[in-house]
Structure 1
Amino acid sequence: MRPLDGIRVVDFSRVLAGPMATQILAESGAEVTKIERPGTGDESRIFEPVFEGGMSAYYSAFNRSKRSIVVDMKTDDGRQLAFDLAAQADVLVENFLPGAMDRLGLGYEALAEANPGLIYVSNTGFGQSGPYRDRKGYDTIFQALSGVIDLTGHPDGPPAKVGVPFADLTSGLWIVIAALTGLMGRVSSGKGCHVDLAMMDVQVSLLSLPAARHFALGEIPARTGTEHPGRVPSAAYRCKGGAWLFISASDQHWPVLCDVLGLTEMAKDESLRKNLDRVTRRDEVTAALSSAAALRERAELAESLRAAGVPAGEVNTVPEILNDEHIRARGMVGSFDDADRGATPGLRTPARFSGYEPHRFEAPPKLGADTRSILADELGLTAEQISALYEKGIVA
């Protein structure tokens, strides 16, 4: 048994945020049916790079453990099939522009009449209301508009996007939060609901700390590179040989940090004991720590700091962290069996629930791999009816 066993999810979403969310639900036990268009399916199926055997690495990262049914929703019969599947679901996830699902006859009001308990999550760029509701956008557009890009980068450099698709990934997590919150609300109310979840709103909500500084101080937060605006030291320092080490120290760590780095005079300086004083003298402190760190090999310095109780972390590359002994011991790098390639690596869903079976970790579905079985087993169509749908090109 898994935590979400018995929960049915119909997934109309494509590319990243929605598929990421429904993959988390699927690997937690929900039965997720991905509804895809004929021919191409989710456009991320052809995104580069691809594994040997032809599967997109991008697609495989967000579509494991699901089923795929191909339905032509440009046809009346196709829309009816999609409606019938949603009428049996607990959760629906879609990421079309506002009004698109209504025009297909698959909007919340129509489906709620047939399925009052449905949790219907609409993940759009700008939401169902507001002057920007009909705008299109991508991850980096939301990063830019929200101020995230303006906050990222070094003070003397241009703005920079986050190194991962930050807006998509955080929105995916909020889709999961919204779906599970809706399901919990249904337990007490007996009713489903429509969730209006805008990627733009998600990004703005993540500005909580910069916004708090603006509300309190009236400041316009600036780019700080790896430094923390309110704590010194908290930054990446370059070590001997060029590798980087991140050091973050509070007041109780400060004298110990100075001792490890050989900064005897700074350790004795009472005017640097409090963080507020170190923030005021940021340039002086940063210069001293940078010079001291540059004389030490990263591995040796990191171990010395950790042994002394000072928080420190190597700035790893992606291959370094994927092969890290702790990450491997935690089982974060897993492997699923792809029919065309065999064992294929991927990153596991991180939550672990005691008393339940482990999360699923199954290969992404081939396009339309489950169409026939879903039509027969869930919609109760006869072999003749199914054959007719295939012949008309309504399903594939």
Structure 2
Amino acid sequence: MRPLEGIRVVDFSRVLAGPFATQILAEMGASVTKVERPGDGDESRTFEPVFDNGMSAYYAAFNRSKRSIAVDLKSAAGRQLAFDLAAKADVLVENFLPGAMDRMGLGYEALSGANPNLVYVSNTGFGQTGPYRDRKGYDTIFQALSGVIDLTGFPDGPPAKVGVPFADLTSGLWIAISALTGLLGRTTTGKGCHVDLAMMDVQVSLLSLPAARYFALGETARRTGTEHLGRVPSAAFQCRGGEWLFVSASDQHWPMLCATLGLDAMAADESLARNLDRVNRRDEVNAALKTAIAGRERAELADALRAAGVPAGEVSTVPEILDDPHTNARGMVGGFDADGYRSMRGVKTPARFSGYEPHRFEAPPGLGADTRRVLAEDIGLSGEQIEKLFEKGIVA
């Protein structure tokens, strides 16, 4: 048994944020049915890169452990099937523009009338209200508008986006949080709810520290590269072989850092003992560290710093961290077998719960692979009714 065993989720979302959230729920035990368009399905099925079997690695990264049903939502019969499916669900996730689900008769008001227990999560770019509600957007648009891109990069360089789809991934986490919170609240109130979750709001909420500096100091945060505004040292430094090492030291680490680097004069300088003083002399401190670290081999120095109790971490490439012995010992990379194809790899959902089975890690579904099963088991249609739907092209 897994923590979300018995929870039914109907997933109308596409591409990344919503599918990421529902994959988390699926791997924790929920039964997630992905509703897709006949013919092409979720557009991310065509995204590059692809595995040897032609499956999109992008799609596979966010749609594991789910079922797929292909339904023509442009038809009245298809919309009725989707309604019937949602009427028996615990959670619904959708990421259409505001009003789109209402126009299909699948909005919260309509569905909550048939299923008062439904937790209905609407994940849009800008929310159900506000002057931007009808705008379209992508991950990088939200990064730009929210100020995240303005904060990312080096002081003397242009702004930069985060190296992963930051807005999509963080919004996906909030979709999962919202769904689980709604389910927990349902046990108290006895009824479900509608969650209005805007990706833009998620990004603004993540500005907590830059916002705190603005509220307290009237300060507009600036790009700092790898440096930390409130701690010195905390930055990446280049080692002898050209590799980078990140060092982050608080007051209790400062003497050990200086000793390991041979910076005896700095260690003895009482005016550098406190972080506030080092922040005020940032350029001087970082210049000394840069020179000292540049003459050391990364592997040797990283081991020496950690042995001294100083937090340090090698700046890894993606292949390096995926093949890292700790990553492997934690089981964070797994393989799954798609029908008829050799095993493919993916990054696992991280949380582990004692007293439960390990979370699921199953191949993403083929388009419409579970249509018959879902229609029979979840909606209760007969074999004859199902075949007629296929004949009419309402399902695939």
* 1:389 counterpart residue number: 389
* 1:247 counterpart residue number: 247
* 1:82 counterpart residue number: 82
1:185-228, CA deviations, whole angstroms, 9 ceiling, x for partnerless residues? 00000010000000000000000000000000000000000000
* 2:296 counterpart residue number: 296
* 1:314 counterpart residue number: 314
1:298-331, CA deviations, whole angstroms, 9 ceiling, x for partnerless residues? 0000000000000000000000000000000000
| Superposition pairs of residues 351-370 of structure 1, within 5 angstroms | 351-370=351-370
The letter of the residue matching 1:152 is T
1:251-290, CA deviations, whole angstroms, 9 ceiling, x for partnerless residues? 0111110010011110110100000100000000000000
* 2:280 counterpart residue number: 280
Distance in 2 (CA, whole Å) between partners of 1:274 and 1:373 is 65
The letter of the residue matching 1:212 is A
1:232 and 2:229 aligned: no
1:128 and 2:128 aligned: yes
SS in 1 for 2:344: strand
SS in 1 for 2:82: helix
* 1:119 counterpart residue number: 119
* 1:17 counterpart residue number: 17
Distance in 1 (CA, whole Å) between partners of 2:279 and 2:377 is 65
* 1:350 counterpart residue number: 350
Q: CA deviation at 1:384?
A: 1.6
Distance in 2 (CA, whole Å) between partners of 1:341 and 1:255 is 56
The letter of the residue matching 2:46 is I
* 2:46 counterpart residue number: 46
Distance in 2 (CA, whole Å) between partners of 1:208 and 1:272 is 28
Unaligned runs of 5+ in 1: none
* 2:203 counterpart residue number: 203
Q: CA deviation at 1:133?
A: 0.1
Distance in 2 (CA, whole Å) between partners of 1:91 and 1:6 is 12
| Superposition pairs of residues 183-198 of structure 1, within 5 angstroms | 183-198=183-198
Q: CA deviation at 1:340?
A: 3.6
* 1:96 counterpart residue number: 96
The letter of the residue matching 2:268 is K
SS in 1 for 2:379: coil
1:59 and 2:32 aligned: no
Distance in 1 (CA, whole Å) between partners of 2:386 and 2:281 is 74
The letter of the residue matching 1:24 is I
Distance in 1 (CA, whole Å) between partners of 2:135 and 2:166 is 19
* 2:375 counterpart residue number: 375
TM-score of the superposition, structure 2-length normalised?
1.00
| Superposition pairs of residues 119-198 of structure 1, within 5 angstroms | 119-198=119-198
Distance in 2 (CA, whole Å) between partners of 1:308 and 1:133 is 53
Distance in 2 (CA, whole Å) between partners of 1:211 and 1:378 is 47
Q: CA deviation at 1:341?
A: 2.1
SS in 1 for 2:358: coil
Q: CA deviation at 1:30?
A: 0.1
Distance in 2 (CA, whole Å) between partners of 1:386 and 1:39 is 18
Distance in 1 (CA, whole Å) between partners of 2:22 and 2:242 is 41
* 2:270 counterpart residue number: 270
**Identity of aligned pairs, percent?**
79
1:81-128, CA deviations, whole angstroms, 9 ceiling, x for partnerless residues? 000000000000000000000000000000000000000000000000
The aligned length equals 396
SS in 2 for 1:378: helix
CA RMSD for the aligned pairs? 0.5
Distance in 2 (CA, whole Å) between partners of 1:166 and 1:71 is 31
Deviation larger for 374-383 or 342-351: 374-383
Unaligned runs of 5+ in 2: none
The letter of the residue matching 2:213 is R
TM-score of the superposition, structure 1-length normalised?
1.00
SS in 1 for 2:195: strand
Q: CA deviation at 1:23?
A: 0.2
Q: CA deviation at 1:377?
A: 1.7
